[in-house]
A and B are shown apart, each in its own frame.
Chain A
Amino acid sequence: MGLPERETVTSAPVPLLQATDVATVFRTPRGAMRAVDGVSLSLARGETLGIVGESGSGKSVLGRTLMGLITDGPETSVTGSVLLGGNDVHALTPAGRRTLWGTEVAMVFQDPMTSLNPVKKIGRHLSESVRLHLGLSRAESRDRAVDLLCQVGIPEPARRAGQYPHELSGGMRQRVVIAMALACGPRLLIADEPTTALDVTVQKQILDLLQSLGEELRMATILISHDLGTIAGRTDRVAVMYAGRLVEHARTAEVFDNPRHPYSRALIASIPHLDLSPHTLLPAIEGRPPNLLNPPAGCRFAPRCVVATDLCTTQSPALTGRAGDDTGGAVACHHPLGAAKEATV
């Protein structure tokens, strides 16, 4: 390990978001479930980060914990710290947290069919938060709602504002959910699988919209997805999660071009490519993700890993600098791929 160790990937002196050793544990009747287990990451203003992992890897829970939607309570334990614009999200009072939501950080949810209240008009979904946070009057908030709908590319915004969610298509609804998140000009947007529930044709539109809005509004974005393909080319950096832990973390191009973790490589290999001949079998990852109620000792990916050794099953690898990566990437693996080759070059 010739490279200097860095705690996290940073690209600005004062990060917008700084999460240190975050762990989220659910107390279930069958025991403690460690959904997020010691994750550290940071994000600068205007930066975009993709969080990728299989379903159940804890990425959605991480997103909600970063935001403070999941907090320490009778059924969950949250440890570590999340600093958002200088505020420790989990040390704030519930009311204090609520003042951050919408203004500092906002979330776009997975399913636009269920994340809009069926008995509320579209306009009200948007106007109520600007009235709450920005103190606008009824008329001002109505205008703002129409502006927001216009901004997310909804035609006839004034008419749409008077409609109910069921009168809009799925893609339109997701645009509304995005507008809802943008309403109070947050500095960080967490998009949790924003396209999973949508038609393939609409997915790209929504992702493009998120990307252009992020650039336009200089808004940092965390894009959570199970699909590396949606993240490719859209984020500055990627964090790969496996069984509640970060296994690799680097600039997006680095991860795609030189995956160091066997899991990252397997994920990349399972993305379909147009240049593959038809009927090519995509390599799937053997085995199943571990049970988080009783995770394996050592590296959690070891049981499914092709290069695992005895060391892997006994000792948990720490996140360390990636060989040949001078941009601050890190990987948690005892036998990082390509490391030997790079060292000899």
Chain B
Amino acid sequence: MSAAALRRLTLRVLELAGVLFIVSVGVFSLVVLLPGDPAVDILGAGRPPSEYAELRHDMGLDQPLHTRYFDWLGGVLTGDLGRSVVPPQSEVSDRVVSALPVSAEIAVLGLLIALLIAVPLAMWSAYREGGIADRIIGAGTFAVLSVPSFLAGLLLVMVMVNSLGWFPRSEWVRIGDGDLLGNLHHAFLPALTVALVELAMFARVLRGDLIVTLREDFILAARAKGMSPLRILFSDALRPSSFSLVTLLGLSLGRLIGSTVIVEYLFSLPGMGSLVVNAANQGDYPMVQGAVLTIAVIYVVINAGIDFSYGYLDPRTRRVHV
């Protein structure tokens, strides 16, 4: 790696750190915006004032804000996200650690389903551009883009659970319990819900790029070599057509996290989404802070990773990095 590349990398990491610092300040200052007094919330009204004061002191609420921020940040950096203010007042980090795999599974599975469906759809559309299949896929994906994920989830439940009975209603089976098939059976419908909007987006963008690529001379050259259309689509056309898709992958990550949250709530899955929504409904701010910060860090890091993946896709840009 050259000195210039190293410098670029260092700058990027510094910028990342700066962004994360601002986010942590933002997340922390939720407390400032909080209406009411946490001590009253925890103990309930009507206690002697000394009890409230004591609790505030125990929670460090009587310290100045910046002291409280750095105390909190110190905790965060050592993996201590504080305690929930809602009974049973469990450790936030414990809850996050147990919820994270569920959300990750739904999101990853959803992304996989979206790609698995979107890539062939886009190829079919692009290969027969202007044909009936292309027009139906175009109209269908545009319509799907207008269906919010909670509505899509409810409709899927209506069809696949209530009418057809193909999938169980709820109750999550953890992967760790050894019942992988049962887990997938439960995870499929939520993941499909998450996948719907993404796959519509992916298919549309990839179709557009594929159509441009398929007009390239090197596609004609590949045909003249005797390659089959399917092989040309997968081995010649797909990779040069996937720049926008990868960019979109980064942009859609935020939406993906959002729909995962909604879908978890809808299917009552014990993931980050249910955690943060329930915490928000109960005003459990340490839980919300911990969950939001965790999600933001993951989000920022993945996006940075996507930035670096461009080099793999287009060797022409790799020269800059090497």
Contact = CB atoms under 8 A, between A and B. Distances in A.
In the complex they form, do A and B come into direct contact, defined as C-beta atoms under 8 angstroms apart?
Answer: yes
A117 interface: yes
Interface stretch (A108-116, A206-214, A273-281): A108-116
B224 A118 contact: no
B316 A164 contact: yes
Question: What DSSP secondary structure best describes chain B's contact surface?
Answer: helix
A133 interface: yes
A109 B314 contact: no
B225 interface: yes
A202 interface: no
Interface residues of A, number: 32
Nearest to A190: B224
Interface in B298-317: 313-316
Contacts of A227: none
A42 interface: no
A7 interface: no
A119 B225 contact: no
Given A117-B240, A118-B316, A119-B314, A98 B220 contact: no
A5 B80 CA distance: 98
Contacts, number: 72
Interface in A96-125: 98-103, 106-107, 109-111, 114-120
Contacts of B236: 117, 120
B228 A98 contact: yes
B225 A118 contact: no
Contacts of B315: 118-119, 164, 166
Nearest to A103: B226
A282 interface: no
B240 A99 contact: no
Contacts of B229: 94
A180 B225 contact: yes
B223 interface: yes
B316 to A, nearest CB: 5
B224 to A, nearest CB: 4
Given A118-B240, A119-B313, A180 B226 contact: no
Contacts of A98: 226-228
B217 A114 contact: yes
A117 B223 CA distance: 12
Interface in B204-222: 216-218, 220-222
B220 A129 contact: no
Nearest to A98: B226
B134 to A, nearest CB: 13
A177 B225 CA distance: 11
A111 B225 contact: no
Nearest to A97: B226
A268 interface: no
Nearest to A104: B226
A128 interface: yes
Contact of A101 (B217, B223, B239, B314): B223
A95 B217 contact: no
Contacts of A253: none
A106 B224 CA distance: 6
Given A118-B240, A166-B316, A129 B225 contact: yes
Interface string B223-247: 1111111000001100110000000
Contact of B226 (A102, A109, A116): A102
**Residue of B225, B228, B235, B316 with most chain A CB atoms under a 10 A cut-off:** B225
B224 A69 contact: yes
A116 B227 contact: no
Residue picked from B224, B240, B313, B315, most chain A C-beta under 10 Å: B224
Contact of A132 (B217, B224, B227): B227
A103 B209 CA distance: 31
Given A117-B240, A119-B314, A164-B316, A128 B227 contact: yes
Q: Which of A99, A118, A181 has the most chain B CB within a 10 Å cutoff? A: A118
A118 to B, nearest CB: 6
Given A115-B217, A115-B218, A118-B315, A102 B240 contact: no
A67 interface: yes
B218 A69 contact: no
Given A114-B216, A118-B316, A119-B314, A109 B221 contact: yes
A236 B216 CA distance: 33
Contacts of A133: 226
Nearest to B216: A114
Interface of B: 216-218, 220-229, 235-236, 239-240, 313-316
8 contacts: A98-B226, A102-B224, A106-B224, A107-B221, A107-B224, A117-B222, A119-B239, A119-B313
Cβ-closest 5 pairs across A and B = A101-B226, A114-B217, A115-B217, A102-B226, A98-B226
